[in-house]
Structure 1
Amino acid sequence: MKNPSSIMRQSSLTKLGSMINTAVNKRSGNGDIQWCFSQVKGTLEDDVTEADIISCVEFNHDGDLLATGDKGGRVVIFQRDPISKNSIPRRGEYNVYSTFQSHEPEFDYLKSLEIEEKINKIRWLKRKNPAHFLLSTNDKTIKLWKVSERDKRVEGYNTKEENGSIRDPACITALRVPTIKPMELMVEASPRRIFANAHTYHINSISVNSDQETYLSADDLRINLWHLEITDQSFNIVDIKPTNMEELTEVITAAEFHPVECNLLVYSSSKGTIRLCDMRAAALCDRHSKLFEEPEDPTNRSFFSEIISSISDVKLSNSGRYMISRDYLSVKVWDLHMETKPIECYHVHDYLRSKLCSLYENDCIFDKFECCWSGNDSAIMTGSYNNFFRVFDRSTKRDLTLEAARDIAKPKTLLKPRKVCTGGKRKKDEISVDCLDFNKKILHTAWHPSENVVAVAATNNLFLFQDKL
């Protein structure tokens, strides 16, 4: 028979262990996390214009800055509020830091094509000095922007007046030493490089290499490698264009560099495959090192199979060991060491499977949803319709459906998990699949690199949510 004192000791250890596990789970952003509203940026829906619709969202590497691009070619940068960052508990609040026009509408006279100003992607470079650098791209042109602060000005020049006009040398009778005076803080955004004329088709991806010296840009059929210092030439590292365009069977949908290994990159295709390429093997990566593909279940085969299996986004985990791919109905987690099938599969909105016909007719079936990792790779986030977004916890396998809506726009308001009713009697808190608004869609999301703060783009509004500590 066991000693009663040892049983009590074991029981108390078990309780202590479960308390520690719960605390770790809450800290790491696992299933026990409760999300609450933090902020919303943007005009009310009555004032929406096409140009205001947000087309990309991206945190920088320390999460202090958050950039959005829109269909009007503008980039808006938000900065973490210092008080919210240092308060206990921390708050995820951001203020407008800088706004600038990144791209203008253009016209290709050779092809008689209008080039939209819409920002397709923004990627931050790691910070090396007081200034910040980011890449932004529309369909054809990539720009490198420098964002810097100025809070001092120089006064008392010898050779020119304060307004900048040159003084008459004959009037200069005394030597003046210029002095530096404080001024109101100005944030300046200036284009440092313009990388153009390298893509025949629309650019869908840019990705900065871990060496912070090169980056890739991908369009439907080619991936180019650029050096950040060289604007007039790039190297074509992937080319899937067939000799006869009538034989075209797939296009590139997304591409990304490995976060640690500077020689590795992945790209996804409209056929539902992901290829891993090693630039050490050959200058032209026309032969992939690994091919990640899940064989299709013949029983689920339908007219829409090819469309819904197309991968709209691929993201490597922060550790570099895993990657996620988003197709129309699901998010899959792949281990880079296993090509045959994904190790995890999460259904985003499987209740739409019966609605594919109407989604095809209204073109929603071609929507390109993005996905993202949490900072510690323990959770995944992606968007859906009706301004819903989904958070999947990898360790507990729990999932949440949350809504980005202005009616909860009060700080620290807890987000109630939403449920979609697919048939039969609808419960009080559920919404019928027939009542979903397919014009309200969350295509772009971003997760803070080290905290449970997420940014969600809902049409022209940017919602910020954080965990309730």
Structure 2
Amino acid sequence: MNGGGEGLAAPATSGAAVSPLEWKFSQVFGERTAGEEVQEVDIISAIEFDRTGDHLATGDRGGRVVLFERTDIKDHGGHRRDLERMDYSISRHPEFRYKTEFQSHEPEFDYLKSLEIEEKINKIRWCQTANGALFLLSTNDKTIKYWKVQEKKVKKVCEMNVDASKSMENGSVASSMSASSKPYLANGACKESPISSPSNDTSFPSLHLPVVVTSQETSLVARCRRVYTHAHDYHINSISNNSDGETFISADDLRINLWNLEISNQSFNIVDVKPANMEDLTEVITCAEFHPTHCNMLAYSSSKGSIRLIDLRQSALCDTHSKLFEEQEAPGSRSFFTEIIASISDIKFAKNGRHILSRDYMSLKLWDINMDSGPVATFQVHEYLRPKLCDLYENDSIFDKFECCLSGDGHRVATGSYSNLFRVFGCSEGSTEATTLEASKNPMRRQVQMPARPSRSLGSLPRVLRRGADNSGADANGNSFDFTTKLLHLAWHPSENSIACAASNSLYMYYA
């Protein structure tokens, strides 16, 4: 992989340089055996940690949501508050286990538009927990659902009216009355336990009702509480929870809608970039994200490589932005692919809300929301692919949408690449950290410290790919790559150096 921090414009965070982390494999879920064919429906399409990091959710192309829970804290008596007091840099080995799964979405067909709606989960977002229950939002292209996952104790019937010892083999209780000295009635009651009537002259048999008791066994129940639908004409590309705990946004190519969690039949359109004449359309919305602490602020990215920060207090329809973040194009650098590779596939706010991380096809960019002149740091991810853009366009790889994430302390950023590789960059002042890892439990997996500058010129790169040819080769550092395998989805633990990433149908966990 070429150059770690090439084009580093300015330090992202102040303070002394942080030493590079040594990443170690932790766990894998769903890894296929040698020769096993991966089913399309099993490929992971979304990953998300909850706010505490104790739960992890994945969604797949089959419309399922799978939940994992952390066990090393619970098993060893650790307490969340104790962990929060610990230094972030202390290495811990987080362990997760499968918790439950449920079918979130089913394939549908829109008869009015003659359009198939896939069940694939596009995004998952955790909501605030309450009374020990977990809440989350999941969405496919058209429909958002609000789920409640709760442990419920199993109820069992422990006492029956039927006295098995007095019953005959055919199960007839009434016929056993003549064979017993104690006359049992049809309901299983015995006449030896009379209930006196108010007049005390007639006896009635006692009535034994079945007793339902709550056992110590528990089962997880996922229940859909709300369904938010019929609000998007185009495919939903992102959803984001607000810090107020009551609202969330959903975005498609041309609009962003604001919802209240408790109201499913009404939403407010807060951003609309659809022109009066669709022929005048020049850019579309690619991702939208609420500010982590300011409930009135959100950012959305576009296919032209720009990020707009909007303030909901300015107007009901936020067609005008309060700030625009975009990098100026170098003179003479424009080509047919310029706009395609500039399209932002993902944005994330830093935990403190000061920085925004964006991912386009070639690079990661870190933006300071107080400085709109340009990114404060640029990390080259796919610079070695620049000579291959024509072939990447032909096989549609150039349209792959890679996600990005930041560490909770803001010192590092991460994103995925081809050959199931992911990159981790240091973004603190003076850091040259640029690590490449392969999502694999193989102990011989690649972990290479990259220099801050390219080690070889672009002219020495291998030949460009040809359509129908072998989609593998080598990058500028001699590492082989494969365009048929790609790591699109990953998430960073909110308070520890731990990364969850998806390679096809497998979920890999790494820690440092």
TM-score if structure 2 supplies the norm length? 0.78
> How far apart are the structure 2 equivalents of 1:305 and 1:238?
26
- State the structure with more CA Rg: 2
| Residues 1:181 and 1:217: Cα distance change in structure 2 (over 3 Å) | same
Q: Does 1:417 align with 2:448?
A: yes
Of 317, 320, 323, 1:287 maps to: 320
| Residues 1:185 and 1:415: Cα distance change in structure 2 (over 3 Å) | farther
Q: Which residue of 1 aligns with 2:148?
A: 146
**1:218-257 per-position Cα deviation (integer Å, ceiling 9, x unaligned):** 0000000000000001000000001111111110000000
Q: Does 1:275 align with 2:308?
A: yes
Q: Which residue of 2 aligns with 1:456?
A: 501
Q: Which residue of 2 aligns with 1:319?
A: 352
Following TM superposition, by how much is the alpha carbon of 1:386 offset from its aligned partner in structure 2, in angstroms?
A: 1.0
Backbone CA RMSD of aligned residues: 2.8
Following TM superposition, by how much is the alpha carbon of 1:46 offset from its aligned partner in structure 2, in angstroms?
A: 2.5
Runs of at least 5 residues in structure 1 that lack an aligned partner in the other structure: 1-23, 160-167
Give the SS at the match of 1:129: coil
Q: Which residue of 2 aligns with 1:14?
A: none
Following TM superposition, by how much is the alpha carbon of 1:82 offset from its aligned partner in structure 2, in angstroms?
A: 3.2
Q: Which residue of 1 aligns with 2:24?
A: 36
**1:152-194 per-position Cα deviation (integer Å, ceiling 9, x unaligned):** 42656999xxxxxxxx999894476966432433111111110
Q: Does 1:446 align with 2:491?
A: yes
Q: Does 1:352 align with 2:385?
A: yes
**1:358-414 per-position Cα deviation (integer Å, ceiling 9, x unaligned):** 111110001111101111111101011111101011121321111112433xxxx88
CA contact (8 A) 1:31 1:399 kept: no
Matches within 5 A, 1:192-231: 192-231=225-264
**1:68-88 per-position Cα deviation (integer Å, ceiling 9, x unaligned):** 000110111111123687489
| Residues 1:450 and 1:39: Cα distance change in structure 2 (over 3 Å) | same
- Range with greater deviation from structure 2 (125-134 or 37-46): 37-46
CA contact (8 A) 1:156 1:176 kept: no
CA contact (8 A) 1:130 1:148 kept: yes
CA contact (8 A) 2:419 2:481 kept: yes
CA contact (8 A) 1:73 1:102 kept: yes
| Residues 1:276 and 1:454: Cα distance change in structure 2 (over 3 Å) | same
Of 417, 431, 437, 2:482 maps to: 437
Give the SS at the match of 1:407: coil
Following TM superposition, by how much is the alpha carbon of 1:284 offset from its aligned partner in structure 2, in angstroms?
A: 0.4
Matches within 5 A, 1:294-443: 294-395=327-428, 396-408=431-443, 416-417=447-448, 431-432=474-475, 435-443=480-488
- Range with greater deviation from structure 2 (366-375 or 87-96): 87-96
Q: Which residue of 2 aligns with 1:101?
A: 103
Q: Which residue of 2 aligns with 1:186?
A: 219
Following TM superposition, by how much is the alpha carbon of 1:49 offset from its aligned partner in structure 2, in angstroms?
A: 1.1
Give the SS at the match of 2:129: coil
**1:242-293 per-position Cα deviation (integer Å, ceiling 9, x unaligned):** 1111111110000000000000010000011111111100000011111111
**1:112-137 per-position Cα deviation (integer Å, ceiling 9, x unaligned):** 00000000000001223200000000
**1:310-356 per-position Cα deviation (integer Å, ceiling 9, x unaligned):** 11111111001110111110111111111111111111121111111
> How far apart are the structure 2 equivalents of 1:295 and 1:158?
78
Matches within 5 A, 1:68-147: 68-82=58-72, 86=76, 90-147=92-149
Q: Matched residue pairs, number?
A: 426
| Residues 1:440 and 1:177: Cα distance change in structure 2 (over 3 Å) | same
CA contact (8 A) 1:403 1:418 kept: no
CA contact (8 A) 2:42 2:60 kept: yes
Q: Which residue of 2 aligns with 1:54?
A: 44
- Range with greater deviation from structure 2 (293-302 or 116-125): 293-302
| Residues 1:84 and 1:331: Cα distance change in structure 2 (over 3 Å) | farther
> How far apart are the structure 1 equivalents of 2:373 and 2:302?
16
> How far apart are the structure 2 equivalents of 1:158 and 1:184?
21
> How far apart are the structure 2 equivalents of 1:447 and 1:242?
37
Q: Which residue of 1 aligns with 2:53?
A: 63
Letter in 1 for 2:28: V
Letter in 2 for 1:52: D
| Residues 1:363 and 1:84: Cα distance change in structure 2 (over 3 Å) | farther
> How far apart are the structure 1 equivalents of 2:497 and 2:149?
26
> How far apart are the structure 1 equivalents of 2:233 and 2:242?
23
| Residues 1:89 and 1:205: Cα distance change in structure 2 (over 3 Å) | closer
> How far apart are the structure 2 equivalents of 1:85 and 1:423?
54
CA contact (8 A) 1:84 1:93 kept: no
| Residues 1:340 and 1:148: Cα distance change in structure 2 (over 3 Å) | same
Following TM superposition, by how much is the alpha carbon of 1:431 offset from its aligned partner in structure 2, in angstroms?
A: 4.5
Letter in 1 for 2:487: I
Runs of at least 5 residues in structure 2 that lack an aligned partner in the other structure: 1-14, 79-89, 162-185, 190-204, 463-472
> How far apart are the structure 2 equivalents of 1:340 and 1:362?
35
| Residues 1:179 and 1:33: Cα distance change in structure 2 (over 3 Å) | same
CA contact (8 A) 1:34 1:414 kept: no
| Residues 1:79 and 1:300: Cα distance change in structure 2 (over 3 Å) | same
Give the SS at the match of 1:360: helix
Following TM superposition, by how much is the alpha carbon of 1:33 offset from its aligned partner in structure 2, in angstroms?
A: 1.1
> How far apart are the structure 2 equivalents of 1:198 and 1:170?
58
Identity, in percent, stands at 55
Letter in 2 for 1:91: H
> How far apart are the structure 2 equivalents of 1:181 and 1:134?
27
> How far apart are the structure 2 equivalents of 1:418 and 1:384?
16
Give the SS at the match of 1:369: coil
| Residues 1:179 and 1:440: Cα distance change in structure 2 (over 3 Å) | same
CA contact (8 A) 2:42 2:62 kept: yes
